[in-house]
């Protein structure tokens, strides 16, 4: 697998995920854009661009067994930590800082090709609720593009290791949920205690351990004095 992808930068596009899949011809290809008109998040959620945003999607054929591809979004999160700096990971798909979402990871697979996307909020004039930004001023489109290319290179480099060596211990150190009481749909509640070798979240519920394979989780906010 090439360590540096073919790189295509677009000003505005409908979806870098769709572009990367369309342009893929065997070698890893990265598509970055400043703005998307039909960007999507996990489970089809709509993605809202910051005033300075980065959409980056990398299409490639993993060398890992297909059964291990569920770990790839977590590896993409670790690659984001490598290049963004000063951020943490909220299992399974968010990059956060000070409790605010900085970036989101989306992984889609079809016909043996994986497309991993990162949508990052780089700078807001007026941030929306719950969304932070990486920069305190606008560094411009060129720095955004370089950031996307650096992320893709780090992701490919991390994929060179075997599927069993994907970075579980490092992910646990970076995961902001570990040690927190969390809830999940429809009615789950427990203490997040770790991440297993498959990338699943380990939760302690009534002195028993359960694993979550996917889904949105929320930290239980404690009231004053607790």
CA dist., res. 125 & res. 214, Å (int): 33
pLDDT on residue 214 = 86
Asked if 123 contacts 51 with a C-beta cutoff of 8 angstroms, the reply is yes
Same domain? 99 vs 25: yes
Same domain? 103 vs 158: yes
Angle at 37 (CA atoms; ends 133, 155), nearest 5 degrees: 55
Same domain? 58 vs 126: yes
How many structural domains compose the chain? Answer: 2
Same domain? 192 vs 92: no
Residue 122 lies in a domain: yes
Q: What are phi and psi of 32, to 5 degrees?
A: -120, 150
Range of the domain at 200: 177-219
pTM: 0.92
Q: What percent of the chain has pLDDT over 70?
A: 93
Same domain? 122 vs 147: yes
pLDDT tens sequence across 109-162: 999 999 999 999 999 988 777 778 999 999 999 999 999 999 999 999 999 988
Same domain? 12 vs 113: yes
Scored b (16 or more CB within 10 A) or e, 200-215 reads: bbbbeeeeeeeebebe
Asked if 178 contacts 29 with a C-beta cutoff of 8 angstroms, the reply is no
Same domain? 168 vs 186: no
Dihedral over Cα of 112, 158, 149, 130: its sign: positive
pLDDT on residue 151 = 98
CA dist., res. 69 & res. 63, Å (int): 10
């Amino acid at each position: 697998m090439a360590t540096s992808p073919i790189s295509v930068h677009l000003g505005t596009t409908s979806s870098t995920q769709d572009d990367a899949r369309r342009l893929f011809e065997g070698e890893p290809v990265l598509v970055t854009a400043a703005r998307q008109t039909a960007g999507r998040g996990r489970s089809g959620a709509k993605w809202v661009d910051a005033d300075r945003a980065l959409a980056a999607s990398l299409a490639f054929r993993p060398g890992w067994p297909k059964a291990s591809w569920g770990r790839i979004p977590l590896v993409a999160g670790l690659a984001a930590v490598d290049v963004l700096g000063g951020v943490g990971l909220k299992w399974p798909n968010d990059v956060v800082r000070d409790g605010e979402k900085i970036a989101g990871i989306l992984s889609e697979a079809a016909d043996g090709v994986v497309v991993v996307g990162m949508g990052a909020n780089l700078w807001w004039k007026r941030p929306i609720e719950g969304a932070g930004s990486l920069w305190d001023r606008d560094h411009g489109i060129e720095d955004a593009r370089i950031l996307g290319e650096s992320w893709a290179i780090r992701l490919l480099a991390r994929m060179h290791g075997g599927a069993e060596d994907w970075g579980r211990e490092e992910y646990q150190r970076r995961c902001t949920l570990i040690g927190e009481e969390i809830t999940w749909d429809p009615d789950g509640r427990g203490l997040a205690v770790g991440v297993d070798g498959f990338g699943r979240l380990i939760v302690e519920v009534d002195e028993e351990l359960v694993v979550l394979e996917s889904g949105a989780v929320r930290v239980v906010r404690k009231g004053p004095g607790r």
